[in-house]
Amino acid sequence: LPSMQTSGSKRCSCPSFKLREVASMYFTMIAVFLVILVVALQGSVPRGSDFPYKVPLDPQGLLELSWNVSYPEQAVHFQLLIRDLQFGLLFGMSDRGEFENADLAALWSDGHNSYFGDAWSDAKGQLHMDSQQDYQLLGARKAPEGLYLLFRRAFSTCDPKDYLIEDGTVHLIYGILEKPVHSLQAINISAIHRGLQRVQLLKPNITIPELPSDMKTMEITAPDIVIPSQETTYWCYMAELPDGFPKHHIIMYEPVITAGNEALVHHMEVFQCAAAFDSFPHYNGPCDSKMKPDRLNYCRHVLAAWAMGAQAFYYPEEAGLAFGGPGSSRYLRLEIHYHNPLVFKGRRDSSGIRLYYTATLRRYDAGIMELGLVYTPVMAIPPGEDAFILTGYCTDKCTQLALPAAGIHIFASQLHTHLAGRKVVTVLSRDGKEQQVVNADGHYSPHFQEIRMLKEVVTVFPGDELITTCTYNTEDRSRATVGGFGILEEMCVNYVHYYPQTQLELCKSAVDPGYLHRYFNLVNRFNDEEVCTCPQVSVPQQFFSVPWNTFNRDVLKSLYGFAPISMHCNKSSAIRFPGMWDKQPLPTITERLREPVPRCPPTPGPRTATAVPLNLGELRR
């Protein structure tokens, strides 16, 4: 446990005491204080087994973070294992993983004395001790494997210098101090080894369903490949189910990570191929290789998805994801994203995903539905935008036609954009009034996508609307970003997992093309530069020729905010449900959800803005 001290004195008018009496009273009070403190710390320090979530922070695995979430306390308990402690560590959170304007817990040493404190960095990256100490140190202990540091942090502190821990992605940052420092302010963040890791800190408190006795497992894993010695690799491997494999339900899946590669395997997905093809070629290699057969692009139906820091995924006890049997392809594609910033060579890997399945079919087949925007260039983002918003609709007309009277139950969600995506949210609306958030990520990263179980199941009835909004940043781009499949094009999608399965597989929208044509005509009329609106010129080319002045940006925003939409209310066969789906009016929202107000924890009194001394002994030079 940390060694803590109090210091300082205050002048007052006091009765005269002998020096011996004063000293005796002083040391008695100190002893009582330390006993109370040690008992309090021992009672509040979680055991190692109490940290169910774990992730390596750095590519070498020298820093390992474990944590748990207490919703009654509205707090996260952290356990940080530092395998090779030098002269300290910075750990914290920021909006996008930057070290400027960050909220930090700092451990530093001058080589003899060590200190812990709650700190923050300003816009220039200069560190400051926080006047409100909200990273609460619970303990520190040395073990053969390294130093364990235990501390606590409330979700919300109502300190303007602190990060608000919310649902969705959290960008964790770390910095390793390799030289002794004499004060917090002496730490130069530009001169230290640092990095970031993305996690979902606030895991849902899900009750694990009972698993059937006839449950079997199947591992879809890479066949002992050599991880390429480059920073980023997407590896594709084709697998297939046994011939004549009957219908089963997947009821759970979990990652299988080759020991030693925990810091390199960033995320993995298993896709089922389209049943329209009788066979698919075998392939084992980089997904972007020219040698990859084009037919593998028809393996897009997600069966399982895992990202670093995620645990096992469980289906609700009344539903399972069907695979196998008639009308289902035998062919599966495993895709693994390796993140190898230190460019390790010769690392072999057999990671993948373990599926748990049963032949005893559950009451309902689970389904996956796409919400958001259609993959079309008519939805575009001008260059140089810091927060441009696009919205896709699943309208009341579509849900009225396609959903059963008892509704469907959404239990999980996977948000998806390409590189410009910064925020994604889907809201359920009924009769023009927003009811609840289905899933939201205010710090979304396209580099961290996983299927997330929802904290509570969302029921959608016929006539409800599902509205998905994406926020994009294109400040680093010089021309318009259009919608499409390319990595430099954009998407706005929420893949919702629900039961019972219906015929509705895609419920998305895009602006009516006729209204977009009017926009190009208007731009052409009011600008000196020619914007070709002739039919033979593609929509992307027309967007690329727009001069992006304030007027043209504002008119495009306005167009997306009022123009009619083309609805895609599609069955799994990619055929629309019968009806008129073009030039549909935008849904009208008359009542919006209130923004949640952060709950401030009760303050036990002002915490002194000073560092806590730690007895870690001499640290190595």
Q: Is 53 designated active site?
A: no
Is-cis flag, bond preceding 500, omega within 30? yes
Helices 550-562 & 513-526 angle (0-180, nearest 10): 160
| CA gap 596, 599 in Å, rounded | 9
How far does the chain reach from its first CA to its final CA, in angstroms?
Answer: 24
Burial of 204 (0-12, 13-18, 19+ CB in 10 A): middle
Residue of 53, 234, 298, 515 with catalytic role: 234
Task: Show the tokens assigned to 588.
Answer: 């009208």
Buried b (16+ CB within 10 A) or exposed e, 326-338: eebbbbbbbbbbb
| Percentages (nearest 5) of helix, strand, coil residues in the chain | 15, 40, 50
Other CB atoms within 10 Å distance of the CB of residue 555: 14
Task: Show the tokens assigned to 316.
Answer: 């609700």
> Are 134 and 154 within 8 A, CB to CB?
yes
Q: Is 234 designated active site?
A: yes
Task: Show the tokens assigned to 309.
Answer: 């820091």
> Are 90 and 117 within 8 A, CB to CB?
no
Residue 599: DSSP 8-state: P
Nearest to 338 by CA among 329, 327, 350: 350
In 201-325, DSSP assigns E strands to 216-221, 225-226, 232-240, 248-256, 265-272, 284-286, 301-307, 313-314, 319-323
| CA gap 232, 338 in Å, rounded | 6
Other CB atoms within 10 Å distance of the CB of residue 571: 14
Buried b (16+ CB within 10 A) or exposed e, 99-115: beebbbbbbbbeeebbb
Residue of 409, 416, 443, 568 with catalytic role: 416
The DSSP H or E segment spanning 78 is: strand 75-82
| CA gap 108, 477 in Å, rounded | 40
Compute φ and ψ for 71, nearest 5 degrees. -70, -35
| CA gap 361, 587 in Å, rounded | 38
> DSSP labels for 181-227?
-SSGGG--GGGSEEEEEEEE-S---PPPPPPPTT-EEEEEE--SEEP
Residues known to be catalytic: 234, 416
